[in-house]
Amino acid sequence: MEKRRFQTGGLEVSLVGVGCNNFGGRIDEPAAAAVVHTALDEGITHFDTAEMYGNGKSEEFLGRALGNRRDEVVIATKASPRPEGDEFRPGALARRIQEACESSLKRLGTDRIDLYYQHRPDPDAPLDEVLSTMEELVKDGKVLHVACSNYSADLLGQADQVAHDRGTTPFSANQVEWSLLNRNIEAGVAPVAQKLGVAIVPYFPLASGLLTGKYRQGEPFPPGSRLSGGGGHFARILTDENFDYVEKLTTFAESRDHTILELAFAWLAAQDGVPSIIAGATSPEQVRSNAAAASWTLTTDDLAAIPKRP
């Protein structure tokens, strides 16, 4: 498994990371342990979880599954936002982040978090409160690297300026949705992140499964699959336009003796500023497929030939 470093902070991670959002929700602890152990066997060292995944069970399952191999990996987790509807007062977000960190450390059974994210920006709290609180956690040794998730281009620039002005540790990464089917960040977030040296860590690289090859237009979805229930977020991506584009991407990948899943990972791996790609998994087979997909390196000609979205 290829390893890459963050430009800011130098954290080294595997190109493919395991998203643990299914732990404690779609899969139980034995199944989660099987995913973690398979990932370790495949050379994956980056495990991404969050306080809110499985109401804390994701962190618990991950910590116990890693056991005495904890020092071999990078654990990334995220602090949940303040409760909606709570009026902001100075110090409220700081307390939320500090409490979240302590709870995550206990659930993970570790003495430090390698990469700690603010899960979503707080529209009411000043960025100085976020960054100064994260700085305290770094100074205390509880967190090694700090990051943000779902930040806009403007907010990312503002955060970098605040860190520079205050002399605090800057965000080393921004975790955002990015895939061949969702390229919204390319208009603003990606170029700003690249300019600032902030890593982009994509999530939903397979567009909730639409880029796995399991779903074909006009055919029944596999029973129990993520998209089989439809509705909500999934209904928004199950469009004729998306299916038509997926067919073009599938044809392109197959013309080069690869799958669309491999194309999805290879394309993200070819983007500037991407050290690791977060992909959820519910089985060892999915972990192996995701890990293998990272071995395809797209050439300049390949990238130029990928079908453009209408």
What tokens does 148 get? 């943000």
- Can you give the pLDDT at residue 111? 97
Contact 61, 31 (CB under 8 A): no
The answer to whether residue 223 is domain-embedded is no
**Minimal CA–CA distance to 157: which of 176, 170, 139, 142?**
170
**Structure tokens that stand for 231 in this block:** 């509705």
Identify whether 88 is part of a domain: yes
pLDDT given for residue 208 in this prediction? 85
For residues 108 and 78, what is the distance between their CA atoms, to the nearest angstrom?
12
Domain-embedded: residue 249: no
Q: How many CA atoms lie within 13 A of 310 on its CB side?
A: 9
Intervals of the chain under pLDDT 50: 228, 231-232
Quote the CA–CA distance of 232 and 272 in Å, as a whole number: 32
- Spatial CA neighbour of 207 closest among 219, 217, 215: 215
State the Cα angle at 262 between 310 and 234, rounded to 5°. Answer: 55
The structural domain count of the chain equals 1
Does the residue 190 lie in any domain? Answer: yes
Residue 88 is predicted with a pLDDT of 87
Within-domain flag for 115: yes
**Amino acid residing at 96:** R
The upper half-sphere exposure of residue 155, i.e. CA atoms within 13 Å in the direction of its Cβ, equals 21
Q: How many CB atoms lie within 10 A of CB 198?
A: 26
Indicate which residue of 53, 117, 203, 215 is catalytic.
53
CATH number reported for the structural domain that contains residue 160 in this entry: 3.20.20.100
Burial annotation 162-191 (CB, 10 A radius, 16+ → b, else e):
bbeeeebbbbbbbbbbbbbbbeebeeebbe
Count of residues in the chain: 310
204-258 residue pLDDT tens? 999 988 999 876 665 655 665 555 455 445 567 778 888 999 999 999 999 999 9
The pTM for the full model equals: 0.92
Burial class (CB in 10 A: 0-12, 13-18, 19+), 132: middle
Give residue 184's pLDDT: 94
Whether residue 246 lies inside any domain: the answer is no
Kindly state whether residue 250 falls inside one of the protein's structural domains.
no
Contact 227, 301 (CB under 8 A): no
Task: Let me know if residue 19 belongs to a domain.
Answer: yes
Residue recorded with tokens 């130029």: 304
Comparing CA positions, the residue from 271, 249, 99 lying closest to residue 199 is 271
Dihedral angle, C-alpha 269, 121, 61, 40, nearest 10 ° = 20
Look at residue 85 in the predicted model and tell me its pLDDT. Answer: 78
- Cα–Cα separations (whole angstroms), residue 40 to 2, 93, 159: 13, 35, 34
Amino acid at 22: N
φ, ψ of residue 3 in degrees (nearest 5): -115, 145
Whether 245 is a known active-site residue: answer no
- Domain range for 175 is 3-207+260-301
pLDDT for position 218: 59
